[in-house]
Structures are given as C-alpha cells and as structure tokens.
Amino acid sequence: MKRALNTRRLAAARERFGYSQVELAQRLGLSRGIVSQWETGARVPSLEVLKLAADTLQVSIDWLLDRDTYSPAQGELGISTAEDIRRDLNAPLGLKDLAGDQALCQALALTPEEWTTLRSLHYRDGLTREGYLSVLMAVRGLSMGVHRRLLRDKPGRAAGKQQSKPGDDPSEAAGD
C-alpha cells in the first residue's frame, strides 16, 4: 500500500524551521538528496523514517499523509505568528492578507493565542482580511466580557458594592 505523502505539507513544515532539504536529511541521518525526492514525489519514506521526520518537524504523521487537516503540534510549533501564517501553504488567503499587513499587525499586537484562534477557523468560502478582523474584534470583546465576569464574581468582592471597613458607617459617628 503506497502512502500519499503530502509533499506541500512536508516542505511547509521543513521551511517553518528554516531547514533546507539537505539540513533535514542530515538531521534524520539520511542521504543528502532524499528529502528532495520525497518533496517531488519520486520516493516515499518508510514508516520509521516518516515517524522520525514527523517528530523532528513537530507535526503528526497523519498530517504529513494528508489524513488530518490539523496537526496537534501546530499550536505549539507555530501558526501563532504573522510570519508562520505567511509561510503556511495551507493558510487561508484572507488570513495571509492580514498577516502580510505588518503595520496593521503591529498596531493590533495580536497574541499567539489570537493567531492560533484565527487559524483554527474553517469557512467553506473563506474569509477576507476584513472578515478576520471582525472575528478578532468579536473574540477580543468576548474575552473582555469573560474577564469582567471573573473579576465581578471573585470571592471576597460584593457584587456592585464596595466592602465597608469597621468605622466607615456614618451612623456610628452620629452616635458619639
């Protein structure tokens, strides 16, 4: 049974680490031209070598074999900065447009968690850059609401009232 190695994903994962084909082959202890042969589809790695490559590139084997749309390691590894999005061959065009606007990204100061959230969205027709900005603003609005509720409901805080200290009651002063 021949496995369908997704050559684009292999190249994207390799490039995300900044490895050349030769460097990846060296890290795997293989001959210099083997990664090139994988990426052109001329050869398919053995299961053991595929496991080693997936571990080295911090992606799942299923992702490399195109059996999974999301690699569990992506959130840890990347797809969490604008540069990761720009390099990702599978990133939606609208998100790539947003990531490519460096001035806007700097002004928005997107966190790795926000990039990961935006990257995890899947829309059949995709989103434009403006669509991703709308989602980002909605996520930030929801985050603020949750944060406010957590502060409001924090033990030791009276809802809507400040706690009084001994001697703060004005009626006590009137009785003196």
pLDDT of residue 6: 87
**Does residue 64 register a pLDDT over 50?**
yes
**For 96-106, what is each residue's pLDDT tens digit?**
899 999 999 99
Cα-to-chain-centroid distance, residue 86: 12
Nearest to 50 by CA among 96, 67, 127: 67
The tokens for 124 are 């059949």
Using an 8 Å Cβ cutoff, are 50 and 57 in contact?
Answer: no
Confidence of residue 3 (pLDDT cuts 50, 70, 90): low
For the chain, the straight-line distance linking the first and the last C-alpha, in angstroms and rounded, comes to 94
Q: Is the pLDDT of residue 71 over 70?
A: no
Q: Which of 89, 70, 75 minimizes the C-alpha distance to 10?
A: 89
Which position has the higher pLDDT, 75 or 68?
68
Above 70 in pLDDT, residue 38?
yes
Residue bearing the bigger pLDDT, 171 or 102 = 102
Residues 161 and 124: their CA atoms lie apart, in Å, by: 48
If one counts every other C-beta atom within 10 angstroms of the C-beta of residue 30, the result is: 16
Say whether pLDDT at 72 is over 60. Answer: no
Cα separation, 87 vs 15, whole angstroms: 8
pLDDT at residue 49 above 80? yes
Over the stretch 133-158, which tens digit does the pLDDT of each residue have?
999 999 888 888 776 777 777 676 55
Residue ranges and CATH numbers for the domains of the chain are 7-73 (1.10.260.40), 78-152 (no CATH)
When computed from its CA atoms, the radius of gyration of the chain, rounded to whole angstroms, is 25
pLDDT at 176: 47
Exposure on the CB side of residue 105, measured as CA atoms within 13 A: 19
How large is the angle between the packed helices 21-28 and 47-57, nearest 10 degrees? Answer: 110
